[in-house]
Chains A and B, each alone.
Chain A
């Protein structure tokens, strides 16, 4: 009986979004579909939470362990809140006529499809399946980025598509190489792609093949993570797509790609002869951090700016995981969670800001705390959080990353700190002109629902002050898992 329950829970993660996607593709009427969208994500979230209580045994295709249940819960939760947000956002888009009903239908269907793909990618136990899922997620987001059909949107989507497919191709080659490495040891057939099998046997694999595979996987999935210099698609995709998608991209899709990377890192780490994956990740991470920090200065489009800040934080997280060790891994996990929550909250705020101001140009915004106090202070709180200031959660993770690194590799820590400072300076430079000073630009009214934004920020705030022991134990467990 209990097995049945758990099986449902696991299947629910996939089935609910899939069914919802079909329904939403067919059903007309904005109100209904929006509600359905929220409902579906809510149900998925419930399924994800149920994983805490009953965890199904890993099968050849699906797997739930500590590592990915972290991601699954995070994904479904943000997916749920984003659905809430997108309900009010898309409504406004309909009124202003930027989207027509058929496109809204398409949008909702794609949203659920994306949820499906991400869940699949997370709980897949088969590296091939994982690849397929991430590919699917990429394609759906491509379609949603292009949904406004403006020049910029099409260009962004096209850029995203080309770079994304190249990345995915590289990732596939990496996957094949892993299989090739596994085959002589595990034997032909399905087992050679089952992750649980691979990780146990990987110490016998051919190191050279593993190295090669990791190079391709790093570049392939790294493109999705948005690490410099593979980041090019990310800012435009964030800037031109509908804001809920920007939120999901930053908050979730990047994590999913990172998750894939982590799986393979563990694979390599288990093989003593293979080259250590750490240094590569550290290098790319620092590169992304510093690069993005400087790029922040010249941004004039608010969404593009926060997209770059996503690159920056992905850099930090990759750096942390690259450093490895229980402390850094813990910090990385914490940072990733906090970043998902914060960044999506910021995009919620930004979405409404862009709607009330009727533009995304920072130059046309100003004095937001005067004209829209709630929105303005929400945005400020978000930026304070993302800049890594207390009392919010990212401060803790950055504290752990920096202090744990400084003891081991002082120079790296210096670069890290430098990047953080530069980024903070840039963020507040822009924030000042958005939130303070004389009010500028048009200020329309918005019937925004601030619930998702403040829910996220409240969670981040709580995490900054008090982490529940259960969560901590869980994270520490995962951190050990990551080695």
Chain B
């Protein structure tokens, strides 16, 4: 019985993420538009886009290989699995122990790996631009992320996200320097990973500046839909990650009753709204940086993470 319930909750959480992802993207867009004094597209615009895309026929480049066609599914699967392991409104999800934070990052890494390959598959110059830049960004963002993870793991004594969240909610986590550093690092990484301003601009198709868009340039139809969906999922994933680590309140523990679960869900939605708003504010208030400033930006993130870890190593009180 309990197993079935857990199974349902796990499944429910997965579906919830799937449903929320486009909405969240739409929300951020709307917010940005509003901040820029624009009307902006309706909240459900992303859903419309997805539907429209999936209706269209796929125009596949001549040189595209099977890898090109399977990549969207792989990317989607990896991202979705990663996302489904993040406690959103309830910790100790059924399968949460099957992969810890490091594994989640690695899953996202594999998604990136394949999408970068897809960028090279057709053999166009723009795909190459995207892939090479993505590789460079990733090669700095990932270690930074790992360092952040180290910090958190050393604070919480676990890489298991549920336990981390539990620990964060618990009183014995005071204000810590390392925690602050980790927060900064994580935010910077999140921006880079999701290709947001100032690293990349999801709205642009200006050839010389785009990164993520360049890789998926050749995709169309249902493939593109899947890619867009996974991008949205990834964004949601990072926001929920930040939420469950740094705003761990009202994440219900195992065996919580239905109403408390509902409360947890609402709390989660609230956190998302806050996160989306902050993101919009940040994006509107800052300009995109040149691609070759990015290493400095991410290098800073890496340094923050390393510093945090060092502090933790040197003394448990930081």
Is there a direct interface between A and B, measured as CB atoms under 8 Å apart in the complex? no
